[in-house]
Amino acid sequence: MDFWIGTLGIFVLATIQILIGGWLFGADNVMKEASVGSILKIPSFYKIIIKYISPAYLLIVFISWLYQKLPGYIDILRTNTNARFTFFFIIILSAFFILLIAQANRNWKKLKI
């Protein structure tokens, strides 16, 4: 559980957040939001880092990890019942959170004026 949530989960969430922030929300909007109430001005080159460099780096690291480690974890899932239970628990928990986010998004759209 520690590996799936504490290591892989944090990494996947960071990748999702940088993709949503840089591409869906927009790097310009991220920069505006980050500078609200700030005394220091954030350098403009961070837009490039937010939009291109961070997602590329995270995706390259993730794909490299999958290439190296995924076959071993699949073998563990085949043979270890506890690992299988943990994996399916994480899948069910993830599905719950995705449904929760979808419902929150629907409610948010209704409240928009």
Parse the chain into domains and list their residue ranges.
2-79, 82-113
Quote the CA–CA distance of 42 and 95 in Å, as a whole number.
36
Question: Tens of pLDDT along 12-64?
Answer: 889 989 998 998 888 999 999 989 988 888 899 999 999 999 999 999 998 89
Q: Are 42 and 34 in contact (CB under 8 A)?
A: yes
**pLDDT value for 86:** 81
Q: How far apart are CA 97 and CA 113, in angstroms?
A: 26
Decide: 54 and 17 in contact? Cβ < 8 Å: no
Please give, one letter per residue, the 3-state secondary structure of the chain: CHHHHHHHHHHHHHHHHHHHHHHHHHHHHHHHHHHCCCCCCCCCCHHHHHHHHHHHHHHHHHHHHHHHHHHHHHHHHHHCHHHHHHHHHHHHHHHHHHHHHHHHHHHHHHHCC
| Residue 3 predicted with pLDDT over 80 | no
Position 109 scores a pLDDT of: 84
How far is Cα of residue 62 from the mean position of the Cα atoms in its chain?
11
User: Quick one: what percent of the chain has pLDDT higher than 70?
Assistant: 98
